């Protein structure tokens, strides 16, 4: 049985298999040919934080696959009153077929997975957001944009997931963060180790120009992740100059794509103009959350 907690646990072949599965499931659903790959299966979705895309994509995805998804907000279940993760995991394992968790701390996912007899999916942690990054990769594959990627912004869960993806697949990734907001060293070490095998080129810098010049894909994320609201004023000061705007996009390659995992905060991490010029790509990326979620669940079911 496999869990889906970080792309570090997956090979390049695994990732490509999930992407190909997503492409074929997407094609089937566009033809309204919904196949019940997970007939009668139950997905428990535990949310410690807010969500639009992750909740909707898993819930709709499970419905389209012939199964059922349960939305379990932390504040409504006993975890919120102190029941242990270990016991919650053992109960959910007895009643459901898969679990997806959005958590504050990645340790919660590891603990849940340790006691789970069903596959566990990371729906975002403080360290990684692997479902998102596979949707981003699917969007790149569909649009045949498989060149270098520039990530401009906070060295957060999205940046870490890009590091994992690039280092597994073997593409060039340049991450530009403000000073003091660099990526986690442990994640970077893992990515550099993976890159020895995949021949990925990883560049970490505080210089936006160095990251974005001739990049084929430009991406960013919010400066203020969930749980960092009280740091908002400080972060807005520290991220000055890191807004991806038209002048910055001129430095990228001529037909560069712009991706954003959403939600977007316009005129902070991205200008309204760049966002609207690339809205087709961004909303394809959002839609791809649905198709990739379905592929991840079908893949995990196949390897259980």
Question: Quick check: 221 binds ligand NVA (CB under 6 A)?
Answer: yes
Question: Quick check: 53 binds ligand CP (CB under 6 A)?
Answer: yes
State yes or no: 132 annotated in a binding site: yes
Question: Quick check: 52 binds ligand CP (CB under 6 A)?
Answer: yes
Of 101, 261, 270, 295, which one interacts with ligand CP (CB under 6 A)?
A: 261
Least distance from C-beta 292 to ligand NVA, angstroms?
Answer: 14
Token pair of 224 as six digits: 């203020």
Nearer to ligand CP, 58 or 112 (CB): 58
Three-state SS annotation for 22-80 = HHHHHHHHHCCCCCCCCCCCEEEEEECCCCCHHHHHHHHHHHHCCCEEEEEECCCCHHH
- 250 C-beta neighbours (distance < 10 Å), count: 10
Token pair of 259 as six digits: 């991706």
Is residue 246 among the annotated active site residues? no
Of ligand CP, ligand NVA, none, which one does residue 156 interact with (CB within 5 to 8 Å by kind)?
Answer: ligand NVA
Question: Quick check: 225 binds ligand NVA (CB under 6 A)?
Answer: yes
Task: Give 58's contacts (C-beta < 8 A, 6+ positions apart).
Answer: 43, 45, 69, 100, 123, 293
Catalytic annotation, pick one of 55, 106, 129, 260:
129
Least distance from C-beta 124 to ligand CP, angstroms?
Answer: 6
Least distance from C-beta 94 to ligand CP, angstroms?
Answer: 27
Q: How far apart are CA 17 and CA 45, in angstroms?
A: 24
Catalytic annotation, pick one of 160, 235, 278, 289:
289
Q: Phi and psi at residue 195, in whole multiples of 5°?
A: -65, -25
Question: Quick check: 69 binds ligand CP (CB under 6 A)?
Answer: no
Least distance from C-beta 145 to ligand CP, angstroms?
Answer: 19
Token pair of 196 as six digits: 């020895």
Q: Are 22 and 291 in contact (CB under 8 A)?
A: yes
- Binding flags for ligand NVA, 85-124, as an x/- string (CB under 6 A): ---------------------------------------x
Question: Quick check: 264 binds ligand NVA (CB under 6 A)?
Answer: no
Question: Omega before 263 cis (within 30°)?
Answer: yes
Q: Which region among 52-60, 66-74, 196-204, 270-278 touches ligand CP (by CB under 6 A)? A: 52-60
Of 51, 88, 157, 293, which one interacts with ligand CP (CB under 6 A)?
A: 51
Question: Quick check: 139 binds ligand CP (CB under 6 A)?
Answer: no
Q: How far apart are CA 11 and CA 13, in angstroms?
A: 5
Q: How far apart are CA 212 and CA 301, in angstroms?
A: 39
Q: How far apart are the first and last CA of the chain?
A: 4
Binding residues: 51-54, 78, 102, 129-132, 157, 221, 225-226, 261-262, 289
Binding residues for L-ornithine: 157, 221, 225-226
Q: What is the set of active-site residues?
A: 102, 129, 132, 221, 261, 289
Site residues (vs ligand CP, CB under 6 A): 51-54, 124, 132, 261-262
């Amino acid at each position: 049985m496999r869990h889906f907690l970080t792309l570090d646990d997956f090979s390049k072949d695994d990732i490509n298999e999930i992407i190909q599965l997503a492409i074929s499931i997407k094609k089937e659903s566009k033809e309204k040919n919904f196949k019940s790959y997970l007939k009668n299966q139950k997905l428990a979705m535990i949310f410690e934080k807010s969500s639009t895309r992750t909740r909707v994509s898993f819930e709709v995805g499970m419905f389209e696959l012939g199964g059922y998804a349960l939305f379990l907000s932390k504040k409504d279940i006993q975890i919120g009153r102190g029941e242990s993760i270990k016991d919650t995991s053992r109960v959910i394992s007895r009643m459901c077929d898969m679990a997806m968790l959005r958590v504050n701390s990645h340790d919660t996912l590891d603990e849940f997975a340790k006691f789970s007899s069903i596959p566990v999916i990371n729906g975002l942690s403080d360290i990684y957001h692997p479902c998102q990054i596979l949707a981003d990769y699917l969007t790149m594959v569909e649009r045949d944009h498989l060149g270098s990627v520039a990530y401009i912004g906070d060295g957060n869960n999205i940046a870490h997931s890009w590091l994992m993806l690039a280092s597994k697949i073997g593409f060039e990734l340049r991450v530009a963060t403000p000073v003091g907001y660099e990526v986690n060293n442990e994640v970077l070490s893992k990515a550099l180790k993976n890159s020895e095998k995949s021949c990925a080129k990883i560049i970490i810098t505080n210089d936006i120009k160095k990251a974005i010049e001739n990049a084929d894909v430009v991406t960013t994320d919010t400066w203020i992740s969930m749980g960092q609201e009280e740091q908002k004023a400080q972060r807005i000061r520290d991220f000055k100059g890191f807004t991806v705007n038209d002048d910055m996009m001129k430095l990228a390659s001529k037909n560069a794509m712009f991706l954003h995992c959403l939600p977007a905060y316009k005129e902070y991490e991205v200008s309204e103009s760049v966002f609207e010029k690339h809205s087709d790509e961004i909303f394809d990326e959002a839609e791809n959350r649905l198709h990739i979620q379905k592929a991840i669940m079908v893949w995990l079911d196949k390897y259980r």
